[in-house]
Chains A and B, each alone.
Chain A
Amino acid sequence: MREFGYERAHDVAGAVALLGADPEARYLGGGTNLVDLMKSGVERPALLVDVRELPLDGIEVTADGGLRVGATVTNSDLAAHPEVRRRYPALTQAVLAGASGQLRNMATVGGNLLQRTRCGYFTDTARSCNKRVPGSGCSAHDGEHHNHAILGASAHCVATHPSDMAVALAAFDAVISYETADGPGETPLADFYLPVGDTPHRETALPPGALITGITLPPAPVAAHSRYRKVRERASYAFAIGSIAAALDVEDGVVRDVRLAYGAVASRPWRARAAEAALTGGPATATAFAAAADAELAAAEPLSDNGYKVPLLRNLTVALLSELTEATEGAAR
């Protein structure tokens, strides 16, 4: 591991100034991904600016009934918070579906959004990877890619974003706040992760040196009826091979409001807007759910070994929306 400096920041402006002074500096949150990547030589920062003690660890209900979550809130505290569990249960479920109890205690919300892909070629510095070394080629395309992207990928990169939390945030229209040397800014999650194209090394729309300070979830009554379902290769403590966050409001058998997002299918959490459009105002039936999933997955371009993800996501969509229909109609009776 390369030698590096370490500074513990005590206020946001100080953290941004420290980072800005060194182009090779990185913010350190829980370190669960960054420290691991430093050990393998993928990340070689000259300076770590530790942001864990910044006063960004609050969770509060906003005046309009949404939620504001600070960037240094741990995954554990986010998942356990009563207002998150009550207002956005799929977010609690998504966070709890990720990693382990130990990692969730360490990991922060800001770091979770910025975690890197677990593509094996990205983390293996002996192999070519356009995300790690632009222009070096993609080993996954013709290599081991059974858990790679089926949507929004390119010939340059087929890696997926590993976060469970971000899938639920995508479904709930989260907005990301950040601080820069020139002042604060914000970006909707929908625009936060950049298209892959021929620049897979450029992952987010964050300005250089920006520090994520928090996430805001707008009020969403439909989110109270939401769930997260994750499929993986063992029962727990593994990354998804496919996941879904869904919220559904059904009245008299008709879909009044629906939110859908997929995980482990793209370089970003995948908001399923085509499926949502197909469902809204239509019947809440398994046939309609399947047709909506097909509408979304029509754009899928599977590789030779990950075509199973298309029916997997279709089945997940039908199963979870059917469960939510049963739950909401049961509650209404």
Chain B
Amino acid sequence: MAPPTPGATTTSSGITLNVNGEKHTLPVDHRTTLLDALRERLDLTGTKKGCDQGQCGACTVLVDGRRSLSCLQLAVAADGREITTIEGVADGDRLHPVQQAFLDLDGYQCGYCTPGQICSAIAVIEEHAAGWPSAATADVGAEAAPPLDPDEIRERMSGNLCRCGAYVSIVRAVARAAEEMQADDAAVKEAAA
């Protein structure tokens, strides 16, 4: 990049990305997407570039706890936000229940869409637990979301495409992980009571 002309608009900025609990300060050209910053600047290549147009979900990460498409997120606009990528979802050597379920139930074939699928599924389970309805929900007026059945999972995961067509196993994996996480949640509450 040419050095900035005095008086011209600044087209790059120094930013701090808080990724998986670690702060990274780096200069970025404003055109840089969060996806490219993660992959090319921070060497966090778990997040995948699929379509780069917001149509496939391969680049899904969590921004401030919510699933987002890192290909449509400018890195400079993510300055100061908390980002979780696939590299940050496990608890040390213990896989996240969603990761474990994808492994156990073959929720993938080539694996390219898998990091996005897993980040998305983690958020799906949290959104459902928070009572968010979906387009598959018959009564959006009800306070609690309906059970996370295959129809609900398919709809809520529809932003993540899988060209291998591993959807049947993905739905099973998300369902099992959700059951486990709900059971863990209930056990924690019981222990606290």
- Residues in A whose Cβ lies below 8 Å from that of B143: 82
CB nearest neighbor in B for A99: B159
User: Which residues of A from 77 to 97 have beta carbons under 8 Å from B?
Assistant: 79-80, 82, 85-86, 89, 92-93, 96-97
With A6-B74, A80-B130, A96-B135 known as contacts, the answer to whether A102 contacts B140 (CB < 8 A) is no
Q: How far is the CA of A105 from the CA of B127 in the complex (A)?
A: 11
Q: How far is the CA of A36 from the CA of B69 in the complex (A)?
A: 11
Q: How far is the CA of A39 from the CA of B130 in the complex (A)?
A: 35
With A39-B53, A102-B120 known as contacts, the answer to whether A80 contacts B13 (CB < 8 A) is no
A52 within 8 A of B: yes
- Residues in A whose Cβ lies below 8 Å from that of B123: 101
B68 within 8 A of A: yes
Inter-chain contact A106/B74, CB cutoff 8 Å: no
- Residues in A whose Cβ lies below 8 Å from that of B137: 96
State which size class the interface on B falls in: 35 or more
Central interface residue in A32, A79, A93, A106, by most chain B CB within 10 Å: A106
- Chain B 158-187, CB-CB to A under 8 Å as 1, else 0, gives 111000000000000000000000000000
Contact sample, A vs B, 20 pairs, CB 8 Å cutoff:
A3-B9, A3-B30, A4-B9, A5-B30, A6-B30, A6-B74, A8-B77, A28-B77, A32-B54, A35-B74, A47-B9, A50-B77, A79-B132, A79-B133, A92-B133, A101-B159, A103-B69, A235-B158, A236-B154, A237-B158
Seen from chain B, the residues whose Cβ lies within 8 Å of a Cβ on chain A are: 9-11, 13, 29-31, 33, 52-54, 57, 60, 63, 66-69, 72-74, 76-77, 79, 120, 123-124, 127, 130-135, 137, 140-141, 143, 154-156, 158-160
Q: What would 6 more interface pairs be, CB under 8 Å, given A4-B31, A100-B159?
A: A4-B11, A31-B74, A32-B72, A96-B140, A105-B67, A237-B158
Seen from chain A, the residues whose Cβ lies within 8 Å of a Cβ on chain B are: 1, 3-6, 8, 28, 30-32, 35-36, 39, 46-48, 50, 52, 76, 79-80, 82, 85-86, 89, 92-93, 96-97, 99-103, 105-106, 235-237
